[in-house]
Structure 1
């Protein structure tokens, strides 16, 4: 109880974002046809989520987020950051160290959603 058990990503062009997240994190997307909007279940190696057709306007650039931001644990920060950039993502906040814990950074997907990645590293400084 009282832990995050599911996440959702909003998208103006679901096919585009599905391709982005498949290429970067190798997630699986399954269309849920019984839901009355365009909706895909996301299967990851841990917490699962969904991707849905964006129901409202995209927040304007440089405004930050208006929802929770999720961070994905990765085995190699730099490798994953390069995949994000190679697939059209942008840097929102460059890599930084949380001393003795991890390297963290934030990115923007193709639909202006902000998300983070982090690599656990006890030697981060």
Structure 2
């Protein structure tokens, strides 16, 4: 109880973000036509989520995030960062060390959504 169990990503162009997250993290997406809004179910290696068509405008770039920000654990933060940028993502906050814990960085997907990456440090 009281654990984060589901996440959602909003998208102005859902198909673009479906392709982005499939290629970066190998997540599975399936469109759910039973809902009254355009919605894709997401299956990751550990958690379920959803992607929905954005219901309103996004805040302008340079504003803080008005949401929870999810961070995805990866085996190689530098290699994953390269793929993100190649596929149209942007660096929001360069990689930094959380001593004895992990490497952390933040990115914007092609639709401006913020997400984090972390790579655990051995022996942390």
Q: Post-superposition, which runs of at least 4 consecutive aligned residues in structure 1 deviate over 6 A?
A: none
Q: Name the CA distance, whole Å, in 2 between partners of 1:91 and 1:9.
A: 18
Aligned residues: 124
2:38 maps to which residue?
Answer: 38
1:91 maps to which residue?
Answer: 91
Residues 15-54 of structure 1: pairs in structure 2 closer than 5 A? 15-54=15-54
Q: Say what the alpha-carbon RMSD is for the aligned residues.
A: 1.1
Which ranges of structure 1 fall in alignment gaps of 5 or more residues? none
1:11 maps to which residue?
Answer: 11
- TM-score norm. by structure 1 comes to 0.96
Q: Name the CA distance, whole Å, in 2 between partners of 1:102 and 1:62.
A: 26
- TM-score norm. by structure 2 comes to 0.97
Query: Deviations for 1:63-121, whole angstroms, at most 9, x for unmatched residues?
Result: 02110000000011001001101101000000000000000000000110000000000
